[in-house]
Amino acid sequence: MITLAHPWVLLLLPLPWLVWRFAPVHRERVEALRFPFFRRIVKTADIEPGPGAVVRRRTRGQMAAAIAIWALLVLAIAGPQRLGDPVEKVRSARDVVLAIDISGSMDTVDFATPEGDLQQRLAAVKQVVRDFVAQRDGDRVALIVFGTRAFLQAPLTEDLDTIADLVDQTQVGMAGPHTALGDAIGLAIRTFEASEVEQRLMILLSDGADTGSRMSPLNAAEIARDRGVEIHTVAVGDPEGGGENRVDTRTLRDIAARTGGQSFFASDTEALRDTYAQIDRLTPRLVERLSYRPRTPLAHHVLALAAVIGVAALGLLTARKARRTRA
């Protein structure tokens, strides 16, 4: 489909006719011979003298070429373009940060599988998180791992395959043996600084208690709330354990409550999978649909045709003048 970007420009088409119709005629002075007894000679010759200026006449070919060139120039200014088929792009309006505890306690083998076997905590988390990431098509996802320190493995990106690969490569103890919940939340807040969307979601998974954060987890949660970050917490450890191996469910609940999120507890693979499914239902993905039609400009083709007509008309005039000169 061909359309015009500025169709109102076509109102200029009758401009030359308006000038020709209402503007004063341009007269060009020519050389003349002046001699005595002019009136007697004219009377004797029985001729009618003309004015001392002439209005040059154009041939039909010249007029046709001029009209065609003007029409093509106006058409080029109007911006002819070819519209392609409509293209619709769906863009997510939500950014997600996954924060995963990889402290030493995540090496504990106490996660029950549907088959009844026991599995390492981190291995079970990897499997569920990988499936969760695979369903985030269109979302931007970032990955944070934390132990004694928190590290950003991947900034916000739509490359979900890379996120899944980084989750698979994560090992227990890579970030130290302890648990720094507050630092993980603080790093997520800094990660969201690159986000321009309104829905900012953090999923914080831990199996221990905060022992070495430079920032209190609850203070970090307050800052996250002020920055529009909603935190859902997932506890996967043993609430009856001792020391750092005891999951601090109370702190995790407080973190979620202060940011408007939910807190969950999962003791086996099936419960963990249900937890991520509930989080997905609690925070339905917002999308922005962008529809556009690609446009291909055609003005250069119109200008090229006008140039060809102009050169051809000039060539004909030059050839005609040359023939008259020889004659």
Same domain, 227 and 110: yes
Same domain, 71 and 106: no
pLDDT band at 326 (very low <50, low <70, confident <90, very high): confident
Is residue 148 scored above 80 in pLDDT? yes
Is residue 133 scored above 60 in pLDDT? yes
Coil, helix or strand at residue 187: helix
Closest CA to 166 of 140, 143, 199, 189: 143
Is residue 168 scored above 80 in pLDDT? yes
Total count of domains within the chain: 2
d(CA 178, CA 281): 32
pLDDT at 142: 92
Sign, CA dihedral 258-219-145-241, equals negative
pLDDT in tens, 238-288: 667 655 667 788 888 999 999 998 899 887 888 888 888 888 777 766 666
pLDDT at 28: 65
Record the pTM: 0.62
Same domain, 206 and 135: yes
pLDDT in tens, 58-107: 778 888 888 999 999 999 999 999 888 877 766 666 788 999 998 888 88
Same domain, 285 and 249: yes
Same domain, 162 and 267: yes
Check: CB of residue 95 under 8 Å from CB of residue 206.
no
pLDDT at 286: 62
Same domain, 273 and 154: yes
Please state, as a whole number, how many other Cβ atoms lie within 10 Å of the Cβ of residue 198: 10
Q: How far is CA 96 from the centre of its chain?
A: 19
Please state, as a whole number, how many other Cβ atoms lie within 10 Å of the Cβ of residue 106: 26
pLDDT in tens, 296-307: 899 999 999 999
Terminal-to-terminal C-alpha distance of the chain: 53
What's the CATH code of the domain at 241?
3.40.50.410
Which two three-digit tokens encode residue 201? 């979601």
Domain enclosing residue 64, as ranges: 2-85+296-326
Is residue 165 scored above 70 in pLDDT? yes
Same domain, 261 and 316: no
Residue 52 per-residue DSSP state: S
pLDDT band at 198 (very low <50, low <70, confident <90, very high): confident
Please tell me the least confidently modeled range out of 91-95, 118-122, 191-195, 312-316: 91-95
Same domain, 305 and 187: no
Same domain, 147 and 275: yes
Same domain, 248 and 310: no
Same domain, 77 and 191: no
d(CA 223, CA 182): 11
Same domain, 170 and 282: yes
